[in-house]
Structure 1
Amino acid sequence: MKRICVFAGSNRGVNPQFEQMAKALGIELAARGLELVYGGSNAGLMGCIANTVLERGGKAIGVMPTGLFRGEMVHTGLTELYEVKDMHERKAKMGELADAFVALPGGYGTFEEVFEVVSWGQLGIHSKPVGLLNTAGYYTPLMEMVKTAVEAGFIPATHTELLICENEPAKLLERLHHYQPPAKTNKWSTP
């Protein structure tokens, strides 16, 4: 594992723990020699983790659609910045560059990115680990929703292993490092 793609809010959120844990993850990435791949913004938790990685001597690689440069403030001090034409190209490039994915707290965009890479893992498009940094219980309701979907017959029980949820960055990165994809299961049940 060389590069971790981090999905994160372009806002900092109201709980100071969100920023603290973004920094803690950045410190862990830099200490382990893992490169950050992310959306390229200098705002919110995105900018917070990138700045922490860079301050600690790590590498931060951003991927930003040209049209968003006005809405999201592009980080001008990154190790590398890829300019792409749209959000689809942004996600594809981040996925291509990354060996694993981690979600910090965020909004609709973060949720969409997480569910897309989990869906791709479920379909066998990739076998990369997907982690949630459960700061202040932020992702507990999401994990409950997954459990409900399993109980309702929409997600095979073994596919809960596609999402790794931890409260501490070091433990999350360890689990990502040792990740083995679940056994292939037919996601489509037959009547």
Structure 2
Amino acid sequence: MAAICVYCASSEGIDPRYVDLATELGTALAARGHSLVSGGGRVSMMGAVARAARAGGAHTVGVIPQALVSLEVADDEADELLVVPDMRARKGLMDARADAFVTLPGGIGTVEELMEVWTARALGMHRKPVVLLDPWDDLLPLVDLAISLRDKGFVRAPALAHLLRTSDVAQALDAVEVELAGVASTT
């Protein structure tokens, strides 16, 4: 099946429902036979999705900058823990290893990762699914901003269609699988 890159928070002290969402995604991803590509952290949502995926038998790949390994937040239980020099290398390797992207609520790093793969998809630089799993509409203001920018002529209308918004885990994985099947049938 697919290698799914999950972008999400590594912040501690967040509402437990977000960690539960990450756990649910990891469990479901494994149950459907997918593997996980993550940021290689063992804390918060990032750690939860990886632990759940592994518990379900999924192969997990973590990509982490050396500076974060030094802070002792690396997911040492990952099937593959790839240590890179910096954040740019991290994102590049995560993107290269992924067949699809699912973004959960998170902070500015998560938003930046989403924007980069969404932009690349809109520009035709890849055909990988870009899914936003946002059950509590935390990132809805970002979508509203993109709509406003489209209305002002800054964003091409088709770009909005390249972000698949979902509100639950099953919808998110269904969206990934349908998109990947469509890509496979046109190649």
Same fold (TM over 0.5): yes
Amino acid at match of 2:156: P
TM-score normalised by the chain length of structure 2: 0.91
Q: How far does residue 21 in structure 1 lie from its aligned partner after superposition? A: 1.1
1:5 aligns to what?
5
2:69 aligns to what?
69
2:153 aligns to what?
153
- Alpha-carbon RMSD across the aligned residues, in angstroms, is 1.5
Q: Return closer, same or farther for 1:72/1:146 CA change in 2, 3 Å cut-off.
A: farther
Amino acid at match of 1:178: V
134-143 or 83-92: bigger deviation: 134-143
1:110 aligns to what?
110
1:130 aligns to what?
130
Q: Deviations over 1:139-185 (max 9, x none)?
A: 2222111111111111121211111110111111111222258xxxx
- Whether the 8 Å contact between 2:122 and 2:158 is mirrored in structure 1 is no
Deviation >4 Å, runs of 4+: none
Inter-partner Cα distance in structure 2 for 1:13 and 1:4? 26
1:177 aligns to what?
177
2:48 aligns to what?
48
Inter-partner Cα distance in structure 2 for 1:137 and 1:17? 13
Inter-partner Cα distance in structure 2 for 1:78 and 1:109? 21
Q: Which runs of 5+ in 1 are unaligned?
A: 182-191
1:144 aligns to what?
144
Q: How far does residue 97 in structure 1 lie from its aligned partner after superposition? A: 0.4
2:119 aligns to what?
119
1:58 aligns to what?
58
TM-score normalised by the chain length of structure 1: 0.89
- Whether the 8 Å contact between 2:7 and 2:101 is mirrored in structure 1 is yes
Q: How far does residue 39 in structure 1 lie from its aligned partner after superposition? A: 0.6
74-83 or 133-142: bigger deviation: 133-142
Q: Does 1:100 align with 2:87?
A: no
- Whether the 8 Å contact between 1:17 and 1:136 is mirrored in structure 2 is no
- Whether the 8 Å contact between 1:21 and 1:135 is mirrored in structure 2 is no
Q: How far does residue 72 in structure 1 lie from its aligned partner after superposition? A: 5.7
Q: How far does residue 14 in structure 1 lie from its aligned partner after superposition? A: 3.0
Q: Return closer, same or farther for 1:13/1:132 CA change in 2, 3 Å cut-off.
A: farther
Aligned residue pairs total 181
Q: Deviations over 1:35-64 (max 9, x none)?
A: 000110001110010011111121111011
Inter-partner Cα distance in structure 1 for 2:42 and 2:73? 6
Question: Alignment identity in percent?
Answer: 37
Alignment of 1:28-47 (within 5 A): 28-47=28-47
